[in-house]
Structure 1
Amino acid sequence: MDTLPATRKRILIIEDDGDECDLMAQHFSPYFDITGFADNYDKLIGLLQPNHLPQIILTNLNLPRKNGLEILQELKGNKAYQQIPVIIMSVSFPDFLKIQAMQLGASACVDKPELYNHYETFCKNIYQLTLQ
């Protein structure tokens, strides 16, 4: 039987698909305190409150304007945010992009589920990653 965390880490999610945000809100809530959803870099920066930073940032790779790798570079290049672990997710995630993401400072690269009914397992796996 799975045990839920006594204290939940704060996670901020960057995703531009509203249906996926709804699924993540539902399935991440037992494991994390979701501090917000952003659909692009500018909204992300607006959600980053200096006295209440997330402990994890989960970003989609494929986003409009700045993609997940560009967001990762921006965060790792900013002293205020560079210590926050960033996990990058994508449905289509070739190995060369995973290698590039890890070289840029990603904490992990994960494959996003293609089917909505796999989100419960996906969210549980993200939580397991944060325990390491």
Structure 2
Amino acid sequence: MENFLRGKNMWGYVTGTKAKPLVPQNENFDLLIDAWETDNSKFITWINNSITRSIGMQLAKYDTTKKVWNHLERLYTYCNFAKQYQLEYDIHALQQNDQSIQDFYAVMSDLWDQLALTESKELKDFEPYIVRREEQRLV
């Protein structure tokens, strides 16, 4: 999603660098507000079209791209021990059975990638941890 938004020149809405104009600064103020609200609505629509209905209902209370993104970041990236435990359990319980090696590898890689998303920023920046995590992967 980040690459998509950067490609649309809308990443600033997530970071807050493209904040809603609050004070009239020139005669184009109405146009600036309209453009900001249009882009903000586009982003929220893109997100809502990409998620489940139950998550979309959680996002309905947010009116800016930044607030929506912050909520999704808390929901999906911050350390969540229950989610980590479930992913680690799924990784250890996964068996190839009648799957092709490509399908098995894809499922395993997806689980490892999801687990990596639950890591705190401090762990992601700690080289010995990264080395150990990569040693545990089946690659």
Instruction: Give TM-score scaled by structure 2 length.
Output: 0.27
Instruction: Give TM-score scaled by structure 1 length.
Output: 0.28
Question: Which structure: larger Rg?
Answer: 2
User: Which structure shows the bigger proportion of residues in helix conformation?
Assistant: 2
